[in-house]
């Protein structure tokens, strides 16, 4: 069964350091999402791609977060510099079409900033 792949699974980084997460969506899925989930809360959408273009990044803290999907396949989410409040689970999801088909999620990357 096709899956959304994410790496690393866990990451510990020091405050003010840079950190990056990688996501490989299900083959053929044009839409890719990055979500952040703080412990005890539901996932919050950070950025949505359609192919290589960003279609929604309204909740992305652009002063420190960046996301790219250069060839419209895999994607990288970066935080620089990391802050203590960035400790969370970062989830990647993909779907065939945004809004009209179901989203499939990866296992996530658990980030701890110390």
Partner 1 sequence: DAKTTQPTSMDCAEGRAANLPCNHSTISGNEYVYWYRQIHSQGPQYIIHGLKNNETNEMASLIITEDRKSSTLILPHATLRDTAVYYCIVRVREYGNKLVFGAGTILRVKS
* Footprint of partner 1 (CB under 8 A): 4, 33, 35, 41-45, 48, 50, 55-56, 91, 93, 97-100, 102-108, 110
Contact of 36 with 44, CB cutoff 8 Å: yes
From the CB of 49, what's the least distance to partner 1, in Å? Answer: 12
Nearer to partner 1, 72 or 81 (CB): 72
Per-residue tokens: 103: 């989203």
From the CB of 32, what's the least distance to partner 1, in Å? Answer: 13
CA–CA separation, 75 and 6 (whole Å): 10
Contact of 47 with 36, CB cutoff 8 Å: no
From the CB of 28, what's the least distance to partner 1, in Å? Answer: 17
């Amino acid at each position: 069964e096709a899956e959304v792949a994410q790496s690393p699974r866990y990451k510990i980084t020091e405050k003010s350091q840079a950190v990056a997460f990688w996501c490989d969506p299900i083959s053929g899925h044009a839409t890719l999402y990055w979500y952040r989930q703080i412990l005890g809360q539901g996932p919050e959408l950070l950025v949505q791609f359609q192919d290589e273009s960003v279609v929604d990044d309204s909740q992305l803290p652009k002063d420190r977060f960046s996301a790219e999907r250069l060839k419209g396949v895999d994607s990288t989410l970066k935080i620089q510099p990391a802050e203590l409040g960035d400790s969370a689970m970062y989830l990647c999801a993909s779907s065939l079409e945004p809004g009209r088909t179901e989203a499939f999620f990866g296992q996530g990357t658990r980030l701890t900033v110390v």
